């Protein structure tokens, strides 16, 4: 077993080939909820959004021209004791219905004008 030096690890961690895997992990996390602390879910999703937005720039900075936008072929297993699948809760369903109703009201107003 080869123990990587810091420079070897840095050279491999930010190559374009890792971008699909990073994206898959972040998108998988966005499709889950924190099983231990409900309020942490929103923070986790915001951090995933930030990382998804920044990852291509970080890869490009470390490996110019190496950004790869392919898909990661595998699944990312997460421990069920910490993460659960996002199932729309009543709160989110209520919000979705509210937004649909507001959209209808705005649409009706625009049609009347």
The structure's pTM equals 0.59
Q: What pLDDT score was predicted for residue 6? A: 47
The pLDDT of residue 15: 59
Whether the CB-CB separation of 89 and 33 falls below 8 Å is answered with: no
Looking at residue 50, its pLDDT comes to 92
Output the CA–CA distances (angstroms, integers) from residue 75 to 24, 59, 67, in the order listed.
8, 22, 21
Closest alpha carbon to 66 in 56, 54, 76, 52? 56
| pLDDT by 10-residue block (mean), the chain, 113 residues | 50 65 89 86 90 85 72 85 74 62 61 59
Paired residues of 84 in beta bridges: 33
Q: How far is the C-alpha of 53 from the C-alpha of 66, rounded, in Å?
A: 16
Through-space distance between the first and last CA atoms of the chain, rounded to whole angstroms: 72
The per-residue pLDDT for 95 is 60
Q: Look at residue 110 in the predicted model and tell me its pLDDT.
A: 57
């Amino acid at each position: 077993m080869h123990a990587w030096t810091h420079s070897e690890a840095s050279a491999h961690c930010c190559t374009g080939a890792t971008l699909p895997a990073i994206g898959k992990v972040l998108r998988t996390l966005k499709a889950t909820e924190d099983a231990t602390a409900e309020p942490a879910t929103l923070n986790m999703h915001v951090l995933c959004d930030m990382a998804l937005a920044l990852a291509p720039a970080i890869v490009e900075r470390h490996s110019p021209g190496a950004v790869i936008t392919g898909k990661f072929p595998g699944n990312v297993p997460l421990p069920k004791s910490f993460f659960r699948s996002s199932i729309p809760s009543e709160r989110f369903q209520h919000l979705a219905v509210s937004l649909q109703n507001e959209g209808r009201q705005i649409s009706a107003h625009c049609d009347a004008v």
